[in-house]
A and B are shown apart, each in its own frame.
Chain A
Amino acid sequence: MSTAITHDEAHHEDHRPSGILRWVTTTNHKDIGTLYLVFSLIMLFVGGIMALMIRAELFEPGLQFMDPVFFNSLVTMHGLVMIFGAIMPGFVGLANWQIPMMVGAPDMALPRMNNWSFWLLPFAFALLLSTFFMKGGAPAGGWTMYPPLILQTGDAFPFLVFAVHLMGISSVMGAINIIATILNMRAPTMSLMKMPMFVWTWLITAFLLIAVMPVLAGAVTMLLTDKYFGTSFFNAAGGGDPVLFQHIFWFFGHPEVYIMILPAFGIISEIIPTFSRKPLFGYSSMVYATASIAFLSFIVWGHHMFTVGMPLAGLLFFMYSTMLIAVPTGVKVFNWTATMWRGSLSFETPMLFAVAFVVLFTIGGFSGLMLAIVPADFQYHNTYFVVAHFHYVLVTGAMFAIVAAVYYWLPKWTGRMYDETLGKWHFWLSTIFVNVLYFPMHFLGLAGMPRRIPDYALQFTGFNQVATIGAFGFGFSQLLFVYIVYKAAHSGEKATDRVWEGAHGLEWTLPSPAPYHSFSTAPTVE
């Protein structure tokens, strides 16, 4: 099927500085992948601590632990940290590790740029997190940064804008690198329609990133000039339009949510066939479904703005286009189900997370469909129902996929197996608590609890308490994950090259751990 290189062949170019400098100067896709993944894990905990503080305040009605301004800062920073710090870098880390190995390349196409795209991130987040200590506190207008409210931010404001710029530059450079790698460095025998699904979904995601990150950069720059340079883009009193910001933001924002899920689709499409011992059902329809989701994601942004008072024609257009997204999304879910159907299934930890993904992501899809129904969205919008929706797609969707991917490929990265029993514990604890945490939020939203409030009317107490218990359970369960990964890297059993009985794909033809430079001669794909 392919020719794997041996460790020795790779060794002669394997001169690298040791210690901290190795990580600062590295241009190696695996090192950079590791950096991204570690960074993402740290941000997951930083954002997670904020979430637990939010949930602690919401355990009971009344103000317990914090001033509402600080609460609003937590809500805002939690969103920004999780989206730009945890989920996106998590996927980029996986791309760095896997794409060269999966397309049969030695490394990424643009290794120096790769180094820079990572190293912007710690600075971006140092700027962002430092705002907690500034006069006026951290930004408190929500991750969506709507003016005029966000313009009331104190000294933190320019830091917020600059941090967003850095994250955007990092993402765009990462995306360019991924596109260049996939298009130019594939093994010659790997045609586009033979690429693994993870590679396909990342290729499409990378185009989305290039298309929309500059739009976000433009939006925050306009905020900056409105605040400091006397422009009135969004200031009604100066002839501007606050709704314009929302259009620009969501033109970025909706593709952004697909940026955070398409690579997850790719991961799930790798894992389910492996543990079903059966090829992915409907490979080509999966590719087309991904492409059509990407296209549709540009014409549905208005569904975040149903309550701004759009004309009827606008409401109808965005309702129909949003409902349409359910079609290719459904195709994906059906294909995964058909892949499992009459397979020979086994349930190692990656598979457990993958199956949970399919079920729980679908629940998020259902609530998405409900949110698309405009008259009903007038009732759901800005409530905990929306909070439940996007956490089902982002936590049990994107995050579960990243966790599944780490379990799946970790033996290839480290050459050692993780502890399967502990992995199963991690899975069951996470899956049970995550539902205790988010399922009641559907009820809270329907019963009328708005999102982003530090205090609430008495009838919401019960489900808030349940959710808070779930939150702490879920949060602490993730410590187990850190331990499992640490233990696997240091003292796990030796992994075989193929690792999983049903695994196919070039990465499994390499030795475990994978050599520093992946393929120095292009392998052949059947």
Chain B
Amino acid sequence: MLISKIKNAGAGLLAAVLLGASGTANADWGMNLPKGATVISHDVYDLHMMVIWICVVIGIGVFGAIFISVLMHRKSKGAVAAQFHESTTVEIIWTIVPFVILVGMAIPASKVLIAESDTANSDLTVKVTGYQWKWHYDYPSEGISFFSTLSTPTDEIYNDAPKDKHYLREVDHPLVLPIHKKIRFLITANDVIHAWWVPAFAIQADAIPGYEHVVWTEIEKPGIYRGQCAMICGRGHAFMPIVVVAKTDADFKKWVAEQKAGTATAAVAETAAVAKTWTKDELVAKGKQVYDANCAACHQPTGSGVPGTFPPIAAGKPFSASAAMMQHLTERGFLKDGKIVMGPVKHHIETVLKGIPGTAMPAWGPQLSDVDIASVITYERNAFGNHTGDVVQPSEVKAAR
């Protein structure tokens, strides 16, 4: 009875493993590489399965032999040890045969690799830049560029709200690409090394400051493809997903047109917004959004910071950290007697625009607009128990750039 139960369970497990290996497993217990959405990703999948099966066959041979010895050649069963201990023929055989098998694996692998390396003749170029901790996408010939940031609310991350189906794999602005076009990616990074990885395209490319890493893809069908940064890059490493929306060429063209129109109106609106005088409430409301999307990862949603690493925004909190950081904070007037204070507005703007070299505080100047920076500074100076009443106008930020 028990034995048959165990047998059944074993068979079930084996079936699950085999099913998993053929890619039909339940999504929540995904066990195998996705087949992906490009010709290359299919080739990679086939390579992967080929090597797995070769390993399974060799494994059955070797583990089978061990198993037989363990079962049959035991002393307790009266086995008497043979004394053979050498055979040049056998050694030569089990050197040559694996070598030949390896050559058999290397040939198709090289073919796929050569195909993957051919980045010439592309239809579209997208520049991808990794930041701590978001992606920036730039379509140079279309004149479109934007940041793509995690859109999962902090509440979900801290278990204060139920998690969405696409928890940690959702962004505010996905990368949009056309299908059936050869797309060339130029991948680089702004601060530390990241890696741009979309399993459905079988692309994992390190994004390295000072390097332009070229890879390509050609997507076969419309859809949403998700991935994430694959190279440890600091605190937000788990929180910089990649979402790609693949569209038919016609839809893609439409999207490009919309974006261009959008960018044009946005530019006009931005100029107007910078020129305009904002009220404190407007700035604070906008500033909260900017803060939550960009600053909360380190300085925390409550502005409390992380001891020793990320300074609090809330004045009055004690803080001590590495010498470089302490020196900067003190010089800028943000630290007195071991406690955070609200330093002068001028230095606040400068710190946000230029960052703190040698620490994880990036320069936000290139990433955020004047309105964003003005509003986030206003927010910081009037939230978390800070009551400076200061209002920073976008025009001041513009002047400080």
Q: Of all chain B residues, which has the CB nearest A73?
A: B309
Residues of A within 8 A of B163 (CB): 61-62, 458
Interface of B (DSSP majority class)? mixed
Q: A358-B66, A375-B109 are in contact. Are A344 and B80 (CB under 8 A)?
A: yes
Q: Report B-chain residues with C-beta under 8 Å of the C-beta of A342.
A: 69, 73, 79, 81-82, 84
Please report which residues of chain A, range 51-80, place their CB below 8 angstroms from some CB of chain B when the two chains form the complex: 61-64, 67-69, 72, 75
Cβ of A315 within 8 Å of any chain B Cβ, yes or no, is: yes
**Is there a chain B Cβ closer than 8 Å to A312's Cβ?**
yes
Contacts A375-B112, A376-B48, A378-B204 given; indicate if A443 touches B31 (C-beta within 8 A): yes
What is the interface residue range for chain B against chain A? Answer: 35 or more
**CB of B175 within 8 A of chain A?**
no
Assuming A327-B102, A330-B98, A345-B74, is B238 touching A141 (CB within 8 A)? no
Q: Are A378 and B237 in contact (CB under 8 A)?
A: no
A295 within 8 A of B: no
Q: Which residues of B contact A339 (CB under 8 A)?
A: 85
Q: From known contacts A61-B163, A315-B113, A376-B48, infer whether A381 and B230 are also in contact, taking CB-CB under 8 Å.
A: yes
Is there an interface contact between A443 and B308, defined as CB atoms closer than 8 Å?
no
Interface pair A457/B169, CB less than 8 Å apart: yes
Q: How far is the CA of A149 from the CA of B44 in the complex (A)?
A: 31
Given B28, B215, B232, B321, which contacts A149 in the complex, CB threshold below 8 Å?
B232
Q: Please indicate the chain B residues that have their CB under 8 angstroms from the CB of A362 in the complex.
A: 59, 62-63
Task: Decide if A369 touches B55 in the complex (CB within 8 Å).
Answer: yes
Q: Which residues of A contact B211 (CB under 8 A)?
A: 236, 242-243, 308-309
Q: Which residues of B contact A320 (CB under 8 A)?
A: 106
> Nearest-CB distance from B67 to chain A (Å)?
9
- A370 and B28 within 8 A (CB): no
Q: For residue B85, which residues in chain A have a CB less than 8 angstroms away from its CB? A: 278-283, 339
Q: How many A-B residue pairs have CB under 8 A?
A: 306
**Are B206's CB and A308's CB within 8 A?**
yes
Beta-carbon contacts of A230-259 to B below 8 Å, as 1s and 0s?
000000110001110000000000000000
The proximity string for A residues 306-343 relative to B, scoring 1 for CB distances below 8 Å and 0 otherwise, is 01110010011001100110110011011001111111
| Any A CB within 8 A of the CB of B259 | no
B166 at the interface (CB under 8 A from A): yes
| Chain A nearest CB, measured from B327 CB (Å) | 12
Q: Which residues in B have their C-beta under 8 angstroms from that of A462? A: 28-29
Interface size range of chain A in the complex: 35 or more
B1 touches A (CB below 8 Å): no
Contact B230 A383 (CB under 8 A): yes
Q: State the Cβ distance, B55 to closest chain A Cβ, in Å.
A: 4
CB distance from B356 to the nearest CB of A (A): 11
Q: Does A120 lie at the interface of the complex (its beta carbon under 8 Å from any beta carbon of B)?
A: no
B355 CB → nearest A CB, Å:
12
Does A355 lie at the interface of the complex (its beta carbon under 8 Å from any beta carbon of B)? yes
Closest to B96 in A: A327
B230, A72: Cβ atoms closer than 8 Å: no
By CB atoms of chain A within 10 A, which of B65, B113, B158 has the most?
B113
Q: Check A323–B204 contact: CB distance below 8 A.
A: no
CB of B266 closer than 8 Å to a CB of A: no
- Would you give the shortest CB distance from B154 to chain A, in whole angstroms? 10
Q: Which residues of B contact A236 (CB under 8 A)?
A: 208-211
- CB contacts (< 8 Å) of B58 on chain A: these are 366
Interface check A459, CB cutoff 8 A: yes
List of B residues within 8 angstroms of A243 by Cβ: 208, 211
Report the bound CA distance from A67 to B154 in whole Å: 13
Complex Cα gap A331–B113 (Å): 28
Known: A309-B214, A379-B44, A461-B28. A366 touches B70 (CB 8 A): no
9 further contact pairs, Cβ within 8 A, besides A236-B210, A373-B47, A448-B30 = A236-B211, A281-B85, A307-B230, A330-B98, A343-B82, A344-B79, A375-B112, A451-B232, A459-B28
Q: Which 5 A-B pairs have the closest CB atoms?
A: A236-B210, A154-B322, A447-B30, A453-B238, A309-B213
7 residue pairs bridging A and B, Cβ less than 8 Å apart? A149-B232, A236-B208, A341-B73, A342-B81, A379-B202, A457-B166, A457-B168
